[in-house]
Amino acid sequence: MPPGVHVRRPVHDDAAAIVAVVRAAETVACGHSLAGVGDVLYDWADPRFSLERDAWVAVNEDGALVAYAYSWATDPTETIDIYGVVHPDVDERGLDAHLMDIALRRAGEQSAAAGLDARDVTVSAWCLRGDARRRELYERLGFKRTRVFLHMVMAAADLPEPPPWPDGITATPFRPGLDERTLHAVLEEAFLDHFRPRPIPFDVWSAQVLADQDFDPDLVLIARDGDDAAGAVVALTLPDAGCVVQLGVRRAWRGRGVGTALLVYALHLLAARGCESLSLGVDSESPTGAADLYRRVGMRPQHENDIYERALGEGA
């Protein structure tokens, strides 16, 4: 631990300070950051996540928050996600390792509470490709890179014209009070093919997505084939960019251009709001070919997020 730094549990009023740390660290690692308070509150909205047990912040002698970490075990039988970020102005070598030790110990408690052998539990962490110090820490602790996610961007000025909707498909704006369960069901089915899919109960999803301070029903589209919902897209306007945060097409409707149409129309909605930069994140190995779809539209990778994993009990 660096001198004068102590660790405590976070409170909701810490969200903005946590985001300031994240933005500073990401800017050093890759030159920019889109992190916002909504990202932190999204995690905390999950009732399965406990600020009192699963998260920590580090504060310096002046009372300034300089680091944040958590161990998130919504389903320990799949993976336990651990995360830590330290402000680049802090001598983070000791603090990074200390927070990682705390998070791994908590992951051990979470796996034991679920009746699991630590050797059978996977812990997962991510870092930006440019964050060499964090990568070195992960590798020193036995983590291996298992997946790469791309942050893709394009300029609104380069948007292609919206394509025609496939035969039989129409798109309707999200209707508050009517479409909540439809939107949830579409995205849940679509993301069954995602890397390490995790079903999200409706009440959890509703608290995270619909109650998000940035959620805008006018930036949500549902593609319909008669009475069936074929796909959906959710977009947000952020301070530095317009972002497509969820895009999914149900399996029976894939390969017909539904995803391309949803994406381009959503990007045009963001551009109409004045967003000059448009972005999204995607699994580089998505079995649905999502990354290739985004490239065809004109989006290009801006930076990479690496996923690192190891067995929780490895080396224990």
pLDDT at position 10 over 80: yes
Where residue 198 falls among pLDDT bands split at 50, 70, 90? confident
**Residue 273 belongs to domain spanning:** 161-297
pLDDT at position 1 over 80: no
- If asked whether residues 105 and 168 sit together in one domain, one would say no
User: How many angstroms separate the CA atoms of 176 and 210, rounded?
Assistant: 9
- Six-digit token pair at 15? 């969200």
Q: pLDDT tens, 36-58?
A: 898 899 899 988 899 999 999 99
Residue 155, in any domain of the structure: no
**Would you list the DSSP string of 26-78?**
HHHHHS-----HHHHHHHHT-TT--HHHHEEEEE-TTS-EEEEEEEEEEETTT
Residue 154, in any domain of the structure: no
Question: The dihedral of CA 269, 214, 263, 203: what is its sign?
Answer: negative
Amino acid identity of 121? V
Query: Tokens 């539209």 belong to which residue?
Result: 297
- Six-digit token pair at 39? 């990202």
- If asked whether residues 212 and 237 sit together in one domain, one would say yes
- If asked whether residues 84 and 132 sit together in one domain, one would say yes
Contacts of 57 (CB under 8 A, 6+ apart): 7, 8, 9, 10, 14, 17, 18, 65, 67, 68, 69
pLDDT at position 315 over 70: no
User: How many angstroms separate the CA atoms of 303 and 252, rounded?
Assistant: 32
CATH code for the domain in which residue 41 is found: 3.40.630.30
Range of weakest confidence among 70-74, 89-93, 199-203: 89-93
- If asked whether residues 54 and 165 sit together in one domain, one would say no
- If asked whether residues 192 and 269 sit together in one domain, one would say yes
- Give the pLDDT confidence score for residue 92 in this predicted structure: 59
Where residue 171 falls among pLDDT bands split at 50, 70, 90? very high
Residue 13, in any domain of the structure: yes
User: How many angstroms separate the CA atoms of 85 and 314, rounded?
Assistant: 23
Alpha helix positions (H), 89-191? 92-113, 132-140, 180-190
* Number of domains, the chain: 2
- If asked whether residues 119 and 223 sit together in one domain, one would say no
